[in-house]
């Protein structure tokens, strides 16, 4: 469904990257499921806030390598579901399985280290740090504190080496998203769309398997939206999986292979975009809701 025109080089790179990702999965985690298994399974997820049941028995799966949309009227429980998957909230019930591993209730950094990351809205960024400094914040497995650097030369060498690798990768990501010219700019001075690009660049710095994007197109102008979508498809070609919450139905219809519809905390329907838009329960939920 992508309208991305990848170059021959990018295709070669994509194939290598996809192979590399599946090899790594097999090597690192012997109990991981076959690549045909869904990358993410959510079963009977439940999250209550006092008397409010925000997520009420939601179950769904995300296929490896897909761009899957999670939609639903306001208050359907989409963000809470994201938060339960990524460890921001601990669910009251249910199971989250990523790459064959039960990650239910793990801390956000543990989930990220597992290879599942979400983009954070601008509020989480540090507006008085530069774009590059934002990129350098806390990537996966970053090691070394100043104490260790000073007392152990061998660790120091490792740390220096690792910092250089992180910096190189940060530049690579900034170049990929075409915001490398903004590296020295304060994050607080970026436009809404540029911040979205920075959020995705930061998320990718940890080299995840799967990205959860919360309204990636909100506040993004049409030309930047086209660019962001093209980047998402290129990354999909390289082997990444995407789950995105998005209110823009054009994005859902034209860029997701599979759509999950939540309503009142549970999954109301799933299918292709065409199946979803023809589903009477979905139409009823949206017409009856505040969308």
Residues that bind ligand ATP (CB under 6 A): 49, 52, 54, 72, 74-80
State the minimum distance, in angstroms, from the CB of residue 138 to ligand ATP: 24
- Which tokens in the block code for residue 142? 């970053």
State the minimum distance, in angstroms, from the CB of residue 186 to ligand ATP: 28
Nearest to 259 by CA among 71, 56, 78: 71
CA distance 147 to 182: 32
Rank residues 54 and 112 by Cβ distance to ligand ATP and give the closer one. Answer: 54
Rank residues 21 and 78 by Cβ distance to ligand ATP and give the closer one. Answer: 78
Runs of H (alpha helix) within the chain: 8-28, 78-85, 108-114, 131-135, 146-151, 153-176, 192-205, 222-237, 249-255, 273-277, 280-288
Rank residues 118 and 233 by Cβ distance to ligand ATP and give the closer one. Answer: 118
Q: Which helix (H) or strand (E) holds 183?
A: none
Answer for the pair 172, 118: CB distance below 8 angstroms, yes or no: no
- Which tokens in the block code for residue 255? 């860029």
Rank residues 187 and 260 by Cβ distance to ligand ATP and give the closer one. Answer: 260
State the minimum distance, in angstroms, from the CB of residue 53 to ligand ATP: 8
Query: Which distant-in-sequence residues (6+ apart) come within 8 Å of 249 by Cβ?
Result: 71
Answer for the pair 135, 185: CB distance below 8 angstroms, yes or no: no
| Per-residue DSSP letter, 152 | -
State the minimum distance, in angstroms, from the CB of residue 282 to ligand ATP: 14
Rank residues 161 and 284 by Cβ distance to ligand ATP and give the closer one. Answer: 284
Q: In a 3-state reduction of DSSP, which class is residue 131?
A: helix
Rank residues 50 and 222 by Cβ distance to ligand ATP and give the closer one. Answer: 50
Rank residues 49 and 283 by Cβ distance to ligand ATP and give the closer one. Answer: 49
State the minimum distance, in angstroms, from the CB of residue 164 to ligand ATP: 40
Positive or negative, the CA dihedral 225, 231, 235, 237 is positive
């Amino acid at each position: 469904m992508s309208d991305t025109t990848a170059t021959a080089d990018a295709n070669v790179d994509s194939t290598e990257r996809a192979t590399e990702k599946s090899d790594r999965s097999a090597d690192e985690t012997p109990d991981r499921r076959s690549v045909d298994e869904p990358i993410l399974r959510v079963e009977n997820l439940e999250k209550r806030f006092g008397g409010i049941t925000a997520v009420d028995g939601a179950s769904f799966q995300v296929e490896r390598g897909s761009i899957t949309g999670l939609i639903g009227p306001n208050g359907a429980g989409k963000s809470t579901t994201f938060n339960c998957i990524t460890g921001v909230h601990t669910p009251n019930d249910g199971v989250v399985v990523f790459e064959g591993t039960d990650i239910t209730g793990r801390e956000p950094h543990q989930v990220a280290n597992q290879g599942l990351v979400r983009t954070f809205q601008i509020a989480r960024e540090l507006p008085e740090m530069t774009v590059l400094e934002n990129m350098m914040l806390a990537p996966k497995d970053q090691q070394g504190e100043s104490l260790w650097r000073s007392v152990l030369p061998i660790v120091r060498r490792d740390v220096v080496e690792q910092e250089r690798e992180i910096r190189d990768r940060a530049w690579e990501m900034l170049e990929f998203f075409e915001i490398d010219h903004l590296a020295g700019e304060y994050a607080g001075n970026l436009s809404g769309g540029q911040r979205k690009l920075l959020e995705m660049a930061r998320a990718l710095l940890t080299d995840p398997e799967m990205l959860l994007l919360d309204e990636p197109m909100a506040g993004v102008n049409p030309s930047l939206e086209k660019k962001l979508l093209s980047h998402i498809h290129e990354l999909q070609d390289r082997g990444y999986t995407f789950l995105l919450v998005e209110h823009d139905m054009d994005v859902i219809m034209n860029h997701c292979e599979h759509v999950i519809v939540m309503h009142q905390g549970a999954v109301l329907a799933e299918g292709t975009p065409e199946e979803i838009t023809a589903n009477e329960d979905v139409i009823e939920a949206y017409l009856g809701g505040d969308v």
